[in-house]
Chain A
Amino acid sequence: MIVAGLDIGSLTAKCVLLDDKKILSYDIMKVKPNLELTAEEIFNRTLEKAGINSSEVSKIVATGYGRKKVGFANRNITEISCHARGAVFLIPTTRTIIDIGGQDSKVIAVGPDGSVREFVMNDKCAAGTGRFLEVMANALNVTLQELPTLSKRAKKAIQISSTCTVFAESEVIGYLASGEDVENIVAGIHNAIASRIAAMANRIRIEEDVVLTGGVAKNEGVKIALENALGLKIKVPFEPQIVGALGAALFAFPK
């Protein structure tokens, strides 16, 4: 039985095709202003990669901020349930999931059976999300992909005192103007996002294994900063950005 999971996030759209719980193909793309068309495009691209026809897909589940815009989905489920499901599938010992997405971040506690026990989400603020990193990378004139390499070379981490993304950006520009090394600034940025996430995570009981998902999990610098802030080791699945879409696809199978 072939099923599909679509995760239409605020910045990227993800799709995973499963055949009896084996990944056939997956794809990631930037979200376009029209979410309906974005959903169709990412679905078609993923089908093409697997070399199959849409008629062969028996069930489709949508998740993410744009989950209700996927007209062709059979069902929609929140990203909280889907990230939990996907993470536990990839790493069965998962007890806590930290997901840092484009515009929100969440910490989810799951029971031994993988069911959601409790969760917290960031409030209406970009601090502690992927957007924060994007804004900072832009201010430093580097790419997102360069960030982890830069922070690895840092001699120290500068202190960013503003929580607000906009004020933090001004602070970063101020550091650049005063001649601070970009590497040290990037390390400071990673610490800032980590401390924000750690403060949120501490609202609930954190148990190991802790799994980091979402696009930001691809940044090793954030992972290390978060490990330091929480005082524990964090696991990252092979493709952390598709965990939500994978969870959605898993929900397509009968219980």
Chain B
Amino acid sequence: MTLRKLQVTKRMKQIMAGYYLMGHQAEDVAWVTSGAPVEILYSMDVYPAYPENHGALIGATKMGSHFSEFAERRGYSRDLCSYARSDLGCIFANRSPIGGLPKPKFLFACNNICNTVVKWYEVVSKIFKVPVFVLDVPFVRKDLKESYINYVEDQIYEFIQFTEKITQKKFSDENFRKTLKKSLKAVRLYSEILKMGKHKPSPITCFDAFINMAPIVCLRGTDYAISFYKEMRDEVLNRIKNNEAAVEDEKLRLLWDNIPIWYRLGWLADFFASRNVCLVADTYTNAWTSFLTRRKDVRGLAEIYTVIYLNIGIERMAEFINKLSEEYDADGIVMHSNRSCKRYSFGQYEIQKMIKIPSVVIDADMTDQRSFSEAQVETRLEAFLEMLT
């Protein structure tokens, strides 16, 4: 075996199974986007369900195209995001790999990750006849302005009132601070793990980061995320101590850009490992490591959620990739041009010209396997490796 797998992944599966079960017992359920300030919800004992995480799960179980078709039959275009299509498809089909998400009491969409979520959540709102709160975040082309933070901060306070009214629960400043502290702790641990990829040979691959990212998305702000990432950190740290590499005889170190191709995760991991290539870091999971602030208040929260990776201009994205490539001593970057995620994929050809390391673009989709052509992807990746060696 050329690829060493993490034991902790079994634990992740248990934790996530518990998280899904929790949703069906929860009194108040909200559907939220991946880049929404979930800390408010956890602090008010509202269960957050993640349609995007659900989409990733559907993708990983290779059911993306199947469920997308339920939405397409109702007229949703194939050009729409496949997370949206497959998640809506599950609602229409009245089933999913995990039996569907628990019915929401309200919806919380933050457009810092894309604008599809605004329309997507509007549709969900109509289906379930529940209110939706849209947190509008200005796009940060260059520098983060005070006025942006003021704008987002004001809306978060509005959102608190909105949630109080629906759930009849009181927001507590003390609870919120505790939740934010837990969230930051989990984010620090997750960052610490990802940074271990700087070690040569790397003890982890970005595939480990992808597979084990669900707790940082869904459970940040809870003790579950902290205990899980402690366990994961210890396992990866142990590998470094024992000089165990994730990929045997690591010869090349690459970066990954964009959301993973969930239904081909294993195929890609094996493709690279069998050629002694380690994907040491990625722009996607690193997006969550920027969720850090010194301020432990709502303003701090507003700041974190405004400058996330998908909400910045391409100059800053290119800077970030250059920083990653230096820190991780990467030889090149594989860019997934994701048919679903326009916000992430738009600008990749420009970014290619702005970064210092060689790059290759592969066309695919994160969840919809109809958009994946194995022979084409294989040829591009092989040619890229031939070019680098």
Contact = CB atoms under 8 A, between A and B. Distances in A.
Contacts of B143: none
B383 A119 contact: yes
Contacts, number: 40
A12 interface: no
A81 B386 contact: yes
Interface stretch (A17-25, A72-80, A228-236): A72-80
Contacts of A104: 376
Interface in A122-178: 123-124
Interface string B25-54: 000000000000000000000000000000
Determine chain B's interface SS by DSSP, over half rule: helix
Interface centre among B361, B373, B383 (most CB of A within 10 A): B383
Interface in A59-112: 65, 77-81, 104
Contact of B363 (A115, A124, A203): A124
A80 B380 CA distance: 8
B1 interface: no
A78 B375 CA distance: 11
Contacts of B337: 123
In the A-B complex, the 4 residue pairs with the closest CB atoms: A80-B383, A78-B383, A116-B387, A123-B363
Interface string B375-387: 1100110110011
A120 interface: yes
Contacts of B373: 124
A27 to B, nearest CB: 24
A78 B386 CA distance: 8
Interface residues of B, number: 18
Interface of A: 65, 77-81, 104, 115-121, 123-124, 203
B349 interface: yes
B383 A203 contact: no
Contacts of A78: 379, 382-383, 386
Nearest to A119: B383
Interface of B: 337, 349, 352, 358-361, 363, 371, 373, 375-376, 379-380, 382-383, 386-387
A70 to B, nearest CB: 15
Given A118-B387, A119-B383, A124-B371, 19 more contacts: A65-B379, A78-B379, A78-B382, A79-B379, A80-B379, A80-B383, A81-B383, A81-B386, A81-B387, A115-B387, A116-B383, A116-B387, A119-B360, A120-B361, A121-B379, A121-B380, A123-B337, A123-B363, A203-B349
A105 to B, nearest CB: 12
Contacts of B371: 124
A80 B379 CA distance: 8
A118 B359 CA distance: 8
Interface centre among B349, B361, B386 (most CB of A within 10 A): B386
A150 to B, nearest CB: 32
B122 to A, nearest CB: 31
20 contacts: A65-B375, A65-B379, A78-B383, A80-B383, A80-B387, A81-B383, A81-B386, A104-B376, A116-B383, A116-B386, A116-B387, A117-B387, A118-B358, A119-B360, A119-B383, A120-B361, A123-B337, A123-B363, A124-B371, A124-B376
